[in-house]
A and B are shown apart, each in its own frame.
Chain A
C-alpha cells in the first residue's frame, strides 16, 4: 500500500494544488482517465469544505489529504480538525440528491452552510464509494475508485 500525504494551510488558494496532486497520483495509480475529472472535482469539494470548516471554526491546523494506492482501488481521505455533525449533513445531502430539481438550493450566495451541503451533494452524486465520519475532534471524508493494475508502468 503506497501513500502520498499532503498537508496544507486552510486557504482557498491551496485547494487547486490539492486537486492537481490528487489527479496526478490517481493517474499514476491507474485510475481510469474517464473518471479523473470526477475525482478532481470530488477531492476539490472535500478540500473546499474542509478549508471552509477550518476558517469558520478558527482552526489553525492544516487540512490533511491522504492518497492511498491499493492493489485494486485508489482511495482519498480528506480530514479536517473542525468539530461538527458532518454525517447528518451528508444524510441530508443524500436526501436532496435523491430528489433532484425539486427546488433551488436554499442558500445565499455568501452562505458557507449552503455551499457545504451542496459540496457534499456533489460528492455523493459523483462517487459511488464514499463515507463521511465526524466527531468532536474533526471530520473525515473517504472516497475510493477502482484502478486498472496494468496501468501502473506509465
Chain B
C-alpha cells in the first residue's frame, strides 16, 4: 500500500490526513508535504494518523522534522492517533512527551497550549 495524503484547513489549523504506510520509501512524500505547508505559511498543523497502517523510525524522523519547522515559526504540530500499535512506537522512543497526541481531529483542532 502506498501513502495517501490530503489537507484541509480548519480555522487557523491545517489538518493533514495520512493513510497507508509511512516507511523509508514513502516518508519523503510526507516530508515534502509538511515542508510545503510550512513554506506556504501553515504553522499550526494537525497530522491525522488514523488511516496509517504502518509507521517506522523514518516516519518519526519526518514528524520530528516537521515539528522543528513549525516551532521555528512559533507554530504547533499535533497528532491524532488511537491505534495502539502506532502509539507504542511513540512511547518506546519517548516521543509521547514531544508530540501532543489527541484522540480526535476535533479535539486537536480546538486544543491550545
**Hey, which chain A residues are within 8 Å of B65, CB to CB?**
108-110
Contact of B23 among A15, A37, A52 (CB under 8 A): A15
Contact status A115-B97, CB under 8 Å: no
Q: A15-B23, A48-B56, A100-B92 are in contact. Are A114 and B67 (CB under 8 A)?
A: no
Kindly list chain A residues whose C-beta atoms are within 8 Å of the C-beta of B18.
none
Task: Using known A-B contacts A15-B24, A40-B54, determine if residue A114 contacts B61 with beta carbons closer than 8 Å.
Answer: yes
Interface residues of B in 37-92 (CB under 8 A from A): 54, 56-58, 60-62, 64-68, 85, 88-89, 91-92
Instruction: Name B21's closest neighbour in chain A (CB-CB).
Output: A16
Complex: A109 Cα to B58 Cα, angstroms: 9
Which of the segments A71-79, A84-92, A118-126, A136-144 contacts the partner chain? A118-126
Q: Is B104 interfacial (CB 8 A cutoff)?
A: no
Q: How far is the CA of A125 from the CA of B60 in the complex (A)?
A: 15
Measured as residues with beta carbon below 8 angstroms from the partner, the interface class of chain B is 20 to 34
Contact of B57 among A12, A108, A110, A119 (CB under 8 A): A119
Instruction: List residues 92-129 of chain A with CB under 8 A from any CB of chain B.
Output: 97, 99-102, 104-105, 107-111, 114-115, 118-119, 121-122, 125-126
Q: Which residues of B contact A16 (CB under 8 A)?
A: 21, 23, 25
Q: How far is the CB of A74 from chain B (nearest CB, A)?
A: 19
**CB of A142, distance to nearest CB on chain B (Å):** 19
Q: In the complex where A15-B23, A16-B23, A44-B23 touch, is A101 in contact with B94 (Cβ < 8 A)?
A: yes
Q: How far is the CB of B57 from chain A (nearest CB, A)?
A: 4
* A132: interface (CB < 8 Å): no
Bound-complex Cα distance A13 to B85 (A): 22
Is A45 positioned at the interface, with any CB of B under 8 Å from its CB? yes
Instruction: Determine if A41 is an interface residue (Cβ-Cβ < 8 Å).
Output: yes
Report yes or no: A12 in contact with B25, Cβ–Cβ below 8 A. yes
- A26 on the interface (CB 8 Å rule)? no
Report how far A41 CA is from B88 CA in the complex, Å: 11
- Please, how many angstroms separate the alpha-carbon atoms of A107 and B31 in the complex? 14
Q: How far is the CB of A77 from chain B (nearest CB, A)?
A: 19
